Amino acid sequence: MDKRIINILLVMAVLILLAINIKIFIDNHEETAGIEQNGNGIENSMIQNNNQDDIQNTITSKVADMTERSRMQTYFGTFISYIEENDYESAYNLLNENFKKNYFSTLEQFETYIQKYPKDIAVDYKEIERQGELFVLTVEIKDVFNKEAQTITQRVVIRELGVNQFTISFQVE
Amino acid sequence: MNLNGKITMAIRNFFKKYGRIILIVFVVWLIIFLINQYLKKRPKETSMINTYTPNNPIIDDGGNVPERYVGTINQTVETYFNYCNSKNYEQAYNMLTDQCKEYLYGNDVSLFQEYVDNIFTQNKIYNLQNYSNVDDIYIYDLVILDDIESTGTTEGYEPYKEKITLRKENDEFKISNQGYIESKPYNKFAEDENLKVTVKSKDISYTREGYNVTLTNKTDKYLVLVDNTLNKEITLNLGDQKRGTVNYSNASLVLNPGETRNEVFIFDKFYDDQKEPTEICIEDVRILEEYEESNEDTAGAASRMYSYTIKLK
């Protein structure tokens, strides 16, 4: 009887120790990885990266579940958001390469052109049509706070390369 | 044996007895743990809602393009388009069916060149959408437009659309463009004491059929077949309905005494509507002793008026 109880206790002890050891090993491993990356001047730790990956995966899933119309509006909305946040480089990087060559060979040229847009932008989507793998949107760009300001009507061409991956070109006036 | 000794002995015996089982359990658990970690970190495969199905017909009565032809057809159209875009007229022209060359361009490549130059005014792109399939004939919408990705539509946005047809001839796909599909011989004729009509052939486009007819006036009087004073003077019987010609709305068709003339009777008819024409009817043949263009009441002036039918089946 004593021997059986001792055996059961020993089995439980071994399993608990095993589980604790593994848990500690995994936690340590993740922390070490984060510290190593910080030590190399990389801003995001492994945990942060995981969170960012999770956020990115969530965004990707949400975009993938959208209809084509909603996806196109989301893509153009992303482009406009960059402009509103003065992140011109990110907006510029979304442009089609040939379009850039034709109209905005430098970021500065793009920045100069984009100044015609209002500071706080509202977008009205008037029309959307598909041309093969391209989408042509007709949009009205308005000033959120100034209804007197001139409305800019533009056609926008979007090519979807994958979920949440796209290039943009637009009617330059 | 004291307690320590007993415990040491028990531990030793325990591992001797259960060590292998514990090791197996541990290995199994480790494998499951690693698989879980892998699946968690694996990029999630996402698929999007996509309505673009260029190889599925919009009108699906005739079924889909066979899978084995899809790649070849797309490649054929791409080659043809690139020839047009780079103004290689001869090479593009040679990709057309012989009937198309003859019917649309009179076997003259310079007429095809005019067509190309009219549309390909600058570098163009295209998209293709299967529209309808009838037997071994595959009809597509070809949309030609400026390179709007490069221009952002700054230089305009006017897509040009036409129907093109692909069919296999001698193991390679040939193209009919501008909506034209094919021509068929049609040796049917009708004759009475006044009029002889021979239907020699018909030219078929996606939206229309043109019947090539020879008309002979066997009398020494005038035969008025069309002068737009009556409704639907020449009709095509499709079984459940009759359709009038579309090419005589502002023209008349009057045969002089003894005259033989070639004419084309054009009717609206979709190629894939599965309707079989049964007859052409000249609803009111009017026989007149005298005829003047200004005569607005040929029915009233006719010595005889009757309908004339040419059976097509």
CATH of the domain at B163: 3.10.450.100
Pairing of strands B124-134, B222-226: unpaired
Q: Which residue of A has its CA nearest to B156?
A: A171
* Within-domain flag for B243: yes
CB proximity A156 to B under 8 Å: yes
Low-confidence ranges of chain B (pLDDT < 50): none
- Domain A66-170 carries which CATH code? 3.10.450.50
In a shared domain, residues B141 and B219: no
* Within-domain flag for B191: yes
Q: What is the pLDDT of residue B289?
A: 93
Q: What is the pLDDT of residue A27?
A: 66
- Answer whether A61 sits within 8 Å of B44, measured CB to CB: yes
* Within-domain flag for B73: yes
* Within-domain flag for B248: yes
Say if residue B2 is exposed, middle or buried (CB neighbours under 10 Å; 0-12, 13-18, 19+).
exposed
In a shared domain, residues B220 and B174: no
In a shared domain, residues B229 and B284: yes
Q: Give chain A positions within 8 Å (CB) of B54.
A: 132
* Within-domain flag for B47: no
* Within-domain flag for B17: no
- Of B135, B152, B178, the one marking the end of a domain is B178
Report the CATH number that the domain containing residue B276 is assigned in CATH: 2.60.40.1640
- In sequence order, what DSSP letters do the residues of chain A get, joined into one string? -HHHHHHHHHHHHHHHHHHHHHHHHHHHHHHHHHHHHHHTT-SS-HHHHHHHHHHHHHHHHHHHHS-HHHHHHHHHHHHHHHHHTT-HHHHHHTB-HHHHHHH-SSHHHHHHHHTTS-SSEEEEEEEEEEETTEEEEEEEEEESS-TTSPPEEEEEEEEEEETTEEEEEE---
**3-state DSSP call for residue B164?**
strand
Q: What is the pLDDT of residue B63?
A: 85
In a shared domain, residues B122 and B219: no
CB proximity B4 to A under 8 Å: no
In a shared domain, residues B173 and B201: no
In a shared domain, residues B151 and B80: yes
CB proximity B55 to A under 8 Å: no
CA distances from A44 to B57, B98, B277 (A): 50, 67, 74
Q: What is the pLDDT of residue B62?
A: 77
Low-confidence ranges of chain A (pLDDT < 70): 1-2, 21, 24-52
In a shared domain, residues B151 and B197: no
- Classify residue B312 by its DSSP letter: -
- Count: domains in chain B: 2
The upper half-sphere exposure of residue B156, i.e. CA atoms within 13 Å in the direction of its Cβ, equals: 8
Residues in Cβ contact with B102 at an 8 Å cutoff, skipping those fewer than 6 apart: B183
Range of B230's domain? Answer: 182-311
Give the closest-approach CA distance of B15 to chain A in angstroms.
9
Given a contact cutoff of 8 angstroms between Cβ atoms, the answer to whether A46 and A27 are in contact is: no
Q: What is the pLDDT of residue B13?
A: 86
In a shared domain, residues B167 and B249: no
Q: How many other β-carbons are positioned within 10 Å of the β-carbon of residue B147? A: 17
Give dist(CA B60, CA B213) in Å, integer. Answer: 33
- Of B121, B155, B178, the one marking the end of a domain is B178
In a shared domain, residues B169 and B196: no
In a shared domain, residues B261 and B187: yes
Give dist(CA B219, CA B221) in Å, integer. Answer: 5
Q: Which residue of B has its CA nearest to A132?
A: B127
* Within-domain flag for B287: yes
Residues in Cβ contact with A120 at an 8 Å cutoff, skipping those fewer than 6 apart: A84, A143, A144, A145
